[in-house]
Amino acid sequence: MRRSERIQKRLSFMRSKELKTEEKQGDGPIEKKKSFYYRHYKILLIIPMLILVLSIAYLGVKIATTGDFINKGISLKGGTSVTITKEGMNNIILEQQLQTQFPKSEVNIRVIEESGVQIGFIVESDVPPEDIALSNSFIAAIKQNTGAIDNQISVETTGVSLGNSFFKQTMISLVVAFILMAIVVFLYFKIPIPSGLVVLSAFSDIVVTIAIIDVLGIKVGTAGIAALLMLIGYSVDTDIVLTMRVLKRKNGTVYEQVISAFKTGMMMNIATLVAVTAAAIIATSPTLREIMIIVIVGILVDMLMTWIQNAGLLRWYLERKGEQ
CATH label of the domain that carries residue 279: 1.20.1640.10
Query: Average model confidence (pLDDT) for the chain?
Result: 82
- Does residue 283 form part of some domain? yes
Count up the domains in the chain and report the number.
Answer: 2
- Does residue 24 form part of some domain? no
Q: How far apart are CA 220 and CA 240, in angstroms?
A: 28
Q: How far apart are CA 2 and CA 165, in angstroms?
A: 88
Kindly state the DSSP code that residue 284 receives in the 8-state scheme: -
Instruction: Give the mean pLDDT of 13-34.
Output: 47
Instruction: Give the mean pLDDT of 121-141.
Output: 83
* 287 and 227 in a common domain: yes
Instruction: Round the CA-based radius of gyration of the chain to a whole number and report it.
Output: 27
Q: Which of 158, 186, 212 is the last residue of a domain?
A: 158
**Is 208 in contact with 214 (CB distance < 8 Å)?**
no
Residues 6+ apart with CB under 8 A from 56: 207
Give the residue numbers spanning the domain of 246.
Answer: 39-71+162-320
pLDDT tens, 34-68? 577 777 888 999 999 999 999 999 999 999 998 88
Q: Which of 158, 193, 223 is the last residue of a domain?
A: 158
Instruction: Give the mean pLDDT of 145-172.
Output: 80
Task: Please give the sequence-ordered ranges of beta strands (E in DSSP) within 152-289, or none if there are none.
Answer: 153-158
* Nearest C-alpha neighbor of 313 from the set 120, 125, 47: 47
